[in-house]
Amino acid sequence: MRGNLTFRLADFANSKEMFADSITSMEADQRAESLPQGVSLRPLQVHQDERGSLTELFRASWDTGIDAVQWNYVESEGSVLRGVHLHLKHSDCLILLSGHATIGLRDLRRDSSTPGLTALLELLGSDRRALTIPPGVAHGFYFHKPCTHIYGVSEFWDPQDELGCHWADPELEISWPNAAPVISARDGALPSLRTLIESVHHGRQT
């Protein structure tokens, strides 16, 4: 009897976690309806059987909006925020492999059909989606718990294309889930959003 009870409790816990993941996934679907121009969230096909699963991450025939020249593998601890960063030359393609991440976006392009649009996305490693971010869209990644992700870039690293602003600037209008995340010294020293916009629109570098 005790064994059956333990099994049922474990089964309930797993069902509860799956339900919470489903709610987060539905919220992500709703938010994806109002993304900055050029930002895409592509579901990836997962092939699963009794041995485990296989996920197709890339096919040359897919219209991903990015021709990646380099892929990187990243591990992040819980409560870490990376950003907010901006690139004027290269696009990013991010795939969360495990964990839970909140992605903050802000369109800083004057010629966009969505100038100034802010979006907040929830990604789950179990969802297997590919997020493409074009040049001119500022972005930051908050990791709720230990996470792993990979990301591809359309250009090799260029320090002149590594711009950004302070993650907590209220003018970003991004409601991060943590008011005191773990950030790098570099990200903590980034300027205000207004300074970044003036720098970009006047052709100067931060």
Question: What is the percent of the chain with per-residue pLDDT over 70, rounded to a whole number?
Answer: 82
Regarding the domain delimited by 2-201, which CATH topology (the fold level of the hierarchy) does it fall under?
A: Jelly Rolls (2.60.120)
pTM to 2 decimal places: 0.82
The model's pLDDT over 115-125, given as tens digits with 9 standing for 90+, comes to: 999 999 999 99
Measure the CA–CA gap between 151 and 72, rounded to whole angstroms. 5
Domain ranges of the chain: 2-201
Measure the CA–CA gap between 54 and 49, rounded to whole angstroms. 9
- Three-class secondary structure of residue 4 per DSSP: helix
The model's pLDDT over 66-106, given as tens digits with 9 standing for 90+, comes to: 899 999 999 999 999 999 999 999 999 999 999 999 999 99
Length of the chain (residues): 206
Measure the CA–CA gap between 175 and 155, rounded to whole angstroms. 30
End-to-end CA distance of the chain: give it in Å, rounded: 66
| Strand residue runs (E) in 67-99 | 70-76, 80-86, 92-98
